[in-house]
Amino acid sequence: MKIMLISHEMTYTGAPNSLLNVARVLRKHGHKVKVYTLERGDFERRYRRYGFRVRQLAFTPSAAECDRIAKKFDLVICNTVFCSRICCMLQERVKTILYLREAADLPKIISDCGIDRSFLQNAENTVCISEYAQKFIERTYSPKRLWVLRNFLMTGKFARPAANRIRDGKVHFLIAATVEPRKGIDIAINAYRSLPRHLTERAVLDIYGRKPEWARDYWEGLFGGDGGIIYHGEYTGGKRKLYKKANVVLVPSSDEACSLAALEGARYGRPLIVSENVGARYLTGGGCGFTVKTGSAESLARAMRFFIENPDSLQSAGTAAFCNFKRTSVQDGYYEGLRKILAEVL
């Protein structure tokens, strides 16, 4: 099958990264895949590394361009709500799927970015990435057809979880996220600062992520004043070093349809602490971490305190997270779910 994938941008963020995984799985199963983006960016390098040339597509393609797309492809997958307009433009000509990576943040995105909510209601086929997202989308937009297809990662050579060692006498808590209000980084900072000094002396909060200009009011002045809170900037290298240096992965977001960081942490055998509003909270079962109250620094601090006071639990909790990942979030299970959806769409 000839499949066109459309990304809204090419940044080092979750949505383009997840779409790359989709491209790799589709190609692995014999499909011919071509990738397009509405806005070019540095993340195209990662696509090229895996043999995908990224082409640019106009935000509002002409009727003639839509006709050309319909002649070249059997299916078009439009990634995120930012591609919902194009999805509705193309679906009269070719089979399409609107692949939503968002959940409860959709109304704000739609309002702030001038997106017509009717695009979500009129899309013929919609996929979301968690049961958490499904409930919100069904309740708010009543889509025509909606499937859940949980996020996944390419497993590669990950036959066992990485060793979870404390290298400098301190438990390292990792947040890997865009520095914007929805990600709850301020909650994590407040949680760390609320801990007694004898515990903060044994812990570090490592934060990696892009600072978008539109969120300047949020991140300006957010960091500083604490030696144990370190903002490292945007991370553009391989993920292995990032997660191997961490001991626990935090996802304190106020809304997260799934969370690629949670999946990545579990893949590397790292315990997880996620908020109730994170769609990937299914990864925290079986003693591999905690689900904490959304927006509560107190609840998050209690979970962090457990791992600081019980460092011997890091390896076993991380192993449990890895087992959950292998059971729920690998490419073979993902493609089986996708194959069933494609059978209905096509």
pLDDT at 184 over 80: yes
pLDDT tens digits along 247-269: 999 999 999 999 889 999 999 99
The H or E element spanning position 47 is helix 44-49
Determine which of 71-80, 120-129, 308-317, 324-333 has the lowest per-residue pLDDT on average.
324-333
Per-residue pLDDT, 223: 87
pLDDT at 202 over 90: yes
Per-residue pLDDT, 158: 63
Residues 198 and 254 in one domain: yes
Query: Who contacts 226 (Cβ-Cβ below 8 Å, separation ≥6)?
Result: 189, 192, 193, 200
CA 342/CA 340 separation, integer angstroms: 5
Which of 289, 275, 291 shows the shortest CA–CA distance to 323? Answer: 289
Task: Specify if 164 maps to a domain.
Answer: no
pLDDT at 313 over 90: yes
155 or 187, which is more confident? 187
**Structural domains in the chain (count):** 2
Residues 219 and 204 in one domain: yes
Would you place residue 155 in the very low, low, confident or very high pLDDT band (cuts 50, 70, 90)?
confident
Residue 41 has phi, psi (to 5 degrees) of -175, 175
pLDDT at 157 over 80: no
Per-residue pLDDT, 28: 94
CB 129 within 8 A of CB 97: no
Question: pTM of the predicted model, to two decimals?
Answer: 0.86
Residues 181 and 319 in one domain: yes
Task: Specify if 60 maps to a domain.
Answer: yes
Structural domain for 203, as ranges: 171-328
Q: What is the DSSP string of 216-259?
A: HHHHTTTS-S-TTEEEEE---S-HHHHHHS-SEEEE--S-BSS-
Residues 81 and 106 in one domain: yes
Task: Specify if 159 maps to a domain.
Answer: no
Would you place residue 238 in the very low, low, confident or very high pLDDT band (cuts 50, 70, 90)?
confident
Per-residue pLDDT, 82: 97
Query: Could you give the C-alpha distances from 216 to 12, 73, 144, 233, in angstroms and in order?
Result: 18, 41, 37, 14
Determine which of 87-91, 153-157, 333-337 has the lowest per-residue pLDDT on average.
153-157
Bridge-partner residues for 75, per DSSP?
A: 3, 95
Residues 11 and 87 in one domain: yes
323-340 in b/e burial notation, b at 16+ Cβ within 10 A? Answer: bbbbebbbbeebbeebee
Mean pLDDT of 136-155: 94
Q: How is residue 128 written in tokens?
A: 């979301």
% of the chain with per-residue pLDDT over 70: 99
Mean pLDDT of 171-181: 95
pLDDT at 156 over 80: no
Residues 337 and 316 in one domain: no
Query: Could you give the C-alpha distances from 205 to 167, 173, 228, 265, 280, in angstroms and in order?
Result: 14, 5, 6, 15, 21
Q: How is residue 272 written in tokens?
A: 């997880």
CA 171/CA 199 separation, integer angstroms: 10
Residues 125 and 202 in one domain: no
pLDDT tens digits along 89-121: 999 999 999 999 999 999 999 999 999 999 999
Residues 188 and 112 in one domain: no
Mean per-residue pLDDT of the chain: 94
Task: Specify if 161 maps to a domain.
Answer: no
